[in-house]
């Protein structure tokens, strides 16, 4: 086993994971006010709405697919009667569409950030880097899901590439502190690039706006109601009484005529 392989598949992943954990702790302790991302909705709304909607829903299902493929051993599927061929068909026909949805969303967000001057001028460098890296990770994932199958069928390679026995086992062993770099040595290049880019993203995650993923608004569940006071209490009271009785308050039609 070469030193380069040990670095790529053992040392670098652990460095990225340690940075991921300690970086979040540091950010939470020293930069709570910068935890949530800056809103740019006032600068541009249409692309933001579609980009956020497509990326978040697509990424949510992509994450679920990675949990099924990487964290669940292949023996579990065989024990419940899911054949290897059926699993790969499921990963293709479900994983590819949701991956395309996530890619469309992050592509829209990158286009918005790069080509709208008002957005570009109000964006930090790290946001450009992480959004671009997210696009790279998703594209490599799609290339591994779809592109490798096309390549394998074109060159008549035998069988499906079983990443659950290689990439999945390597990934699980990292968390069990039993790293095996040899599991990744013979893996197709596109899967290797996807794994490396994902760990680069993990290393940068704490220092970007991606930390808002871990913001759960539990405080809203126990927060008291916010009361608003009207500058014209009499008009407000008349409006409430009219709403209850189904009648329009006095002066409404007159005010509309004046306008």
- Residue 211: CB atoms within 10 Å: 19
Residue 24 marked ligand-binding? no
Residue 194 marked ligand-binding? yes
Dihedral over Cα of 49, 55, 61, 67: its sign:
negative
The phi-psi region of residue 216 (left if phi > 0; otherwise alpha if psi is between -120 and 50; otherwise beta) is beta
Which residues have C-beta within 8 Å of that of residue 44, sequence separation ≥ 6? Answer: 112, 116, 118, 119
The DSSP code for 251 is T
Q: Tokens at residue 227, please?
A: 């009361």
Tell which residue, 232, 213, 229, has the closest CA to residue 28: 213
Q: Are 132 and 193 in contact (CB under 8 A)?
A: no
Residue 85 marked ligand-binding? no
Residue 88 marked ligand-binding? no
Which secondary-structure segment (H or E) carries 243?
A: helix 233-245
Q: Are 201 and 16 in contact (CB under 8 A)?
A: no
Question: Which residues are known binding-site members?
Answer: 56, 66, 194, 212
Question: Which residues are known binding-site members for heme b?
Answer: 56, 66, 194, 212
């Amino acid at each position: 086993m070469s030193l380069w392989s040990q670095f790529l598949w053992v040392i670098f992943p652990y460095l990225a994971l340690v940075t991921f954990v300690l970086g979040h702790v540091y950010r939470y302790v020293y930069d709570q006010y910068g935890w949530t991302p800056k809103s740019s909705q006032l600068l541009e709304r249409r692309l933001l709405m579609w980009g956020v909607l497509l990326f978040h829903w697509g990424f949510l299902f992509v994450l679920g697919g990675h949990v099924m493929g990487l964290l669940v051993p292949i023996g579990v599927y065989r024990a419940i009667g899911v054949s290897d061929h059926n699993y790969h068909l499921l990963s293709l026909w479900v994983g590819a569409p949701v991956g395309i949805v996530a890619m469309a969303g992050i592509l829209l967000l990158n286009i918005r950030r790069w080509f709208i001057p008002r957005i570009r001028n109000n964006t930090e460098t790290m946001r450009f880097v992480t959004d671009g890296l997210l696009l790279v990770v998703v594209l490599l994932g799609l290339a591994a899901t779809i592109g490798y199958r096309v390549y394998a069928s074109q060159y008549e390679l035998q069988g499906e590439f079983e990443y659950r026995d290689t990439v999945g086992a390597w990934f699980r062993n990292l968390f069990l502190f039993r790293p095996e770099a040899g599991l990744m040595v013979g893996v197709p290049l596109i899967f290797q690039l996807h794994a490396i880019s994902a760990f680069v993203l993990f290393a940068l995650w704490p220092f970007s706006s991606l930390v808002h993923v871990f913001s759960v608004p539990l405080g809203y569940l126990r927060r008291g109601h916010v009361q608003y006071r009207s500058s014209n209490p009499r008009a407000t009271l008349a409006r409430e009484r009219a709403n209850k009785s189904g009648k329009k308050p006095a002066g409404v039609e007159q005010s509309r005529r004046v306008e």
